[in-house]
Structure 1
Amino acid sequence: MSGNIDTVDAAVDEAAPPILASREEALAAVERLREGIAARAEQTERDRMVPEETIRELTDAGLFGIVTPRLWGGSELGFATLLEVQTAIASACASTGWVYGVLAGHTWLVALFSEEAQAEVFADARARIASLIRFGGQPPERVEGGFRWRGGSGRFCSGIDHSQWVLLGGTVTEDDGTSEQWYMLVPASELEIIDDWHSVGLKGTGSKSIVIKDAFIPEHRAVRFADLGSGRAPGSELHPGGLYRLAYDSVWPLSLVGAVVGAARGALAEFIAATSRRLASLSSLQQASNGPALVRLANAAAQLDAMSSLLLNDARVADSAPEGTVFSPLDRAQRSRNLAFAAQQLRAAVNELYESAGGSGVYLSAPLQRWWRDVNTAASHVAFTWDLASVAYGRAVTGVNAVAGTGTGPAVRA
């Protein structure tokens, strides 16, 4: 570790959020907040952003620090705990769960940047970071001491209203004509927010468009995607253990998928409550005729349990990876497959429940329709696209690469 940082206390003041000692402590903190988050779900959707009160509560509870390094006052509890915490939050409000996962997960990404960049961001123990991994418009240009970005733009910047920093991905063309993808840290104050988030679901995520008119990004606030993807990012050496040496594309969607799991859990809970009330008012004979609804309920519950286990296993494998672990292309493809498969299976399960709700489910006053809209919107994220993930896995497991003739033979697993 570099000697430029004296102590953790240098980055953490008296107002810093608490450090959570364990998964159990983190989940207990969520449980104390769930009722309030659920009570504000309609407000979240109406305002098209998570209320400041909710963000403050999550911050004060230390929950944004689940994968923040201990060096900077974080809990460093890993992606499995982040997944469980996000699921619990999203089961109260899917939009809040989505924004939570996005902002909390990005502290892990910042920990892969240079020490100087980390010190800038984490100097504010309550700083939050949004992101657009594919920022369009004009690309950044290399200039003396860093990069100049004029006229960049992009959509779907979830949680931007609550963020002090934004991670932006762009392609830089060098003087020799070669191009390379970079990830850059930009203060949110240097961006313009376009209030265009009018969506069918996840209405409260505030996933607005942003524009960068003219910003200078110093060299220390930029990192090559190639380094992030190889587990050799500049900041990884600052933190002991293997968590910050993992390739970013092996783990980053794990900070999103908990929103799908949580929303499916919320939908199932609402369906159970509504079905229980309806059956209680019927005669025994009428109850018996409702068997198909109970079958759908059982199917959805089984899918939820199975998909949760699948995702948690992947997260735990990543968390427990020894220092120096390099996941193979097949490992990465399998994890992407599991993420997409789980999201689409949960989407299908909730769709089954919604179909069973009949005409009563079409009213905007019906809670189930919000869960249905949120799950379908969340599962539409590119990271959960089954057409892409399934083909990538098929190529990896059979050794068929994208370019004909470059296959290395099938990857056989015992």
Structure 2
Amino acid sequence: MKATEIPVGTEIHRKAAEIVPVLRRRAPWAEENRRLHMETVEAMADAGIFKLRVPARYGGYEAGTRTLAAVAAELARGDGSAAWTASVWWIPTWMACLFPDEVQDEVFATPDVRVCGTLSPSATAAPADGGIVVDGRWRFISGALHSHWQEIIAVMPGEDGGMRPVMALVPMADLHVVDDWHTSGLRGSGSVSTVADGLFVPRERVLPLGAVLAGDGVSEVNRDSPVYRAPLLPVASASSVGTVLGLTAAARDAFFDRLPGRGITYTGYDEQRQAAVTHFEVAEARLRADEAHYHADRLTDLVDRGRGPDERWTLEERARARAWMGRVVQAGKESVEVLASASGGSSIYRDSPIQRIQRDMQAITMHALMHPSTNYELYGRVLCGLEPGTLYL
């Protein structure tokens, strides 16, 4: 069996399920301290979570996005922040596989390497002898505190006199970390800011962002692997939806754990499970979660579908990938909100997991890439024959 053919339910999926109790136990600590607990990180490393997008020649699995979604869904049953951070690490790890092979040799020399990153061009770069010099700041860098490398985006002068965005890989030791992650949701992801101050990056660790967005890497060894040929945004979309699926399951777990013996205050129901409104709510929540799974399956199948080296994605397919991701997020959020609302006033106490699950889900919904309305508009523009109006497709 090829590494790219790892099915859902194999060893890596089983190990992800086995560490859910660890993640669940450490989730309150992560929320309080605004970063993942090292026990959580080590448990994910031992389970092979960080190897899923690593090339097979470095001991990785080269897993498809269907596997990523299933594994993240398991992790999110324990802690949404842990699942989200793992998903974020998978995406820049995939990007690193587009760089020259000698750069990959350096990155993947670290066991269980973790690469964080961003797609925001919030820095500037200037040409320098043998590379570029970068100055700037990047926000929302999930997992930065536990990462070895960061993928950064900067804009620099092009040959035509305009500005062009570039992507680069830099060691975390070369960046300043700003501890500014004070948020309502995904607090455990430690999505702090990082800063480059006159940072020199050698030329071999710099790629045009446009090439990366198109999936046109310069790696000779990875060129024949379909895992590394898809455009970046569909890959990122499919890599991100598992956390949403897992949070809907976590919300169900939290709701039904509290259901036995609970009544509905100021009503005649001594048992909430006997109330017709409860039956309606749990059915509605499950159907919304099922809808999220349906669109997640379509999305991962689209990204994982085998394509020839010269077979290009259409503009509509790329927009559709983002629209399906938006639908997963919307349906997942609605599922969680139904159960959170049905959990009653006592569920707002911090020892009730569902309030954290709801806040984590809300934070995901607000992410620039994940926001449903933004993705629907993009898809609608393309369906109407208009230009998408963005590079991020």
TM-score, length basis structure 1: 0.87
Aligned to 2:301: 316
Q: 1:357 to 1:146 in 2, by over 3 A?
A: same
Q: How many residues get paired?
A: 384
For 2:218 and 2:248, the matched residues in 1 are separated by 38
Query: Which stretch shifts more, 86-95 or 348-357?
Result: 348-357
Q: Following superposition of structure 1 onto structure 2, how do residues 134-283 of structure 1 map, counting pairs within 5 Å? A: 134-137=120-123, 139-150=124-135, 152-174=136-158, 176-235=160-219, 237-278=221-262
Matched, 1:333 2:319: yes
Shift of 1:288: 7.7
For 2:324 and 2:6, the matched residues in 1 are separated by 29
Deviations 1:65-113 (A, max 9, x none): 1121112211112111011101110111001111111113322111011
Q: Any idea what SS the aligned residue of 2:20 has?
A: helix
Contact 2:178 2:194 in 1 (8 A): yes
Q: Following superposition of structure 1 onto structure 2, how do residues 305-384 of structure 1 map, counting pairs within 5 Å? A: 305-324=290-309, 325-384=311-370
Q: 1:162 to 1:275 in 2, by over 3 A?
A: same
Contact 1:195 1:208 in 2 (8 A): yes
Shift of 1:314: 1.5
Letter in 2 for 1:161: L
Contact 1:20 1:62 in 2 (8 A): no
Matched, 1:303 2:279: no
Aligned to 1:67: 53
Aligned to 1:407: none
Matched, 1:77 2:63: yes
Which 5+ residue runs of structure 2 have no aligned equivalent? none
For 2:60 and 2:271, the matched residues in 1 are separated by 55
- RMSD across aligned positions (CA): 2.4
For 1:307 and 1:147, the matched residues in 2 are separated by 43
Contact 2:316 2:382 in 1 (8 A): yes
Deviations 1:259-280 (A, max 9, x none): 2221121112211222234269
Shift of 1:289: 6.2
Q: Following superposition of structure 1 onto structure 2, how do residues 18-29 of structure 1 map, counting pairs within 5 Å? A: 22-23=7-8, 24-29=10-15
Contact 1:65 1:107 in 2 (8 A): no
Aligned to 1:113: 99
Q: Any idea what SS the aligned residue of 1:255 has?
A: helix
Q: 1:315 to 1:170 in 2, by over 3 A?
A: same
Q: Any idea what SS the aligned residue of 1:383 has?
A: coil
For 1:374 and 1:144, the matched residues in 2 are separated by 44
Query: Which stretch shifts more, 233-242 or 44-53?
Result: 233-242
Shift of 1:286: 5.8
Q: Any idea what SS the aligned residue of 2:183 has?
A: coil
For 2:287 and 2:139, the matched residues in 1 are separated by 35
Deviations 1:161-198 (A, max 9, x none): 11110000111113541221111101100111111111
Q: 1:273 to 1:387 in 2, by over 3 A?
A: same
What is the identity percentage for the equivalent residue pairs of Structure 1 and Structure 2? Answer: 26
Q: 1:64 to 1:402 in 2, by over 3 A?
A: closer
Letter in 2 for 1:202: L
For 2:144 and 2:245, the matched residues in 1 are separated by 23
Aligned to 1:96: 82
Aligned to 1:124: 110
For 2:320 and 2:100, the matched residues in 1 are separated by 30
TM-score, length basis structure 2: 0.91
Q: 1:160 to 1:247 in 2, by over 3 A?
A: same
For 1:93 and 1:128, the matched residues in 2 are separated by 19
Q: 1:21 to 1:147 in 2, by over 3 A?
A: same
Matched, 1:290 2:275: yes
Letter in 2 for 1:308: H
Aligned to 1:409: none
Aligned to 1:12: none
Shift of 1:287: 5.5
Letter in 1 for 2:26: R
**Displaced runs of 4 or more, over 3 A:** 18-23, 279-289
Q: Any idea what SS the aligned residue of 2:132 has?
A: strand
Q: Any idea what SS the aligned residue of 1:250 has?
A: helix
